[in-house]
Amino acid sequence: MLPTFTQVRLFTDDDGRARFAESAIALTEGNAQAALSPLMPSGGCQLRLSPVGFRSQFHCSTTPQWVFILGGQMEIGLQDGSSRSFGPGEHFYSDDTLPDGASFDPAVHGHWSRQVGPEPLVTAFVRG
């Protein structure tokens, strides 16, 4: 059986609401000591520093992107009241874009994010 990488995905469901799901990415490249996924295209990388106390409003991702937590803690909240926290070395794939033809409604669409704890939040965004 091939090793896999668990992708945590934040996506827009058929009802327009953001949800989390997990899926496996097969690590079909490399060797036993360094199993790799196939090379994935990317559209650039951005780094972000969010100060202690940062919290966004509800918003959608403008473009699908990997979010890697480099330092601090990040919490992502959904419209259903649930949330999920991510710390250094953790990730998620943010793909909760606004549905085609929809106008953004902060009572339905998107997610919020916030910095949690005593350290600033440091993230890397890699566009998919």
Separation of alpha carbons 64 and 55, rounded Å: 20
Tell whether the model's pLDDT for residue 38 goes beyond 90. Answer: yes
pTM: 0.92
Mind listing the pLDDT tens digit for each residue in 71-102?
Answer: 999 999 999 999 999 999 999 999 999 999 99
Residue range 6-32: mean pLDDT, rounded: 96
- The residue whose two tokens read 């990040």 is 74
Beta-carbon neighbour count of residue 81 at 10 Å? 6
Domains present along the chain, CATH in parentheses: 4-127 (2.60.120.10)
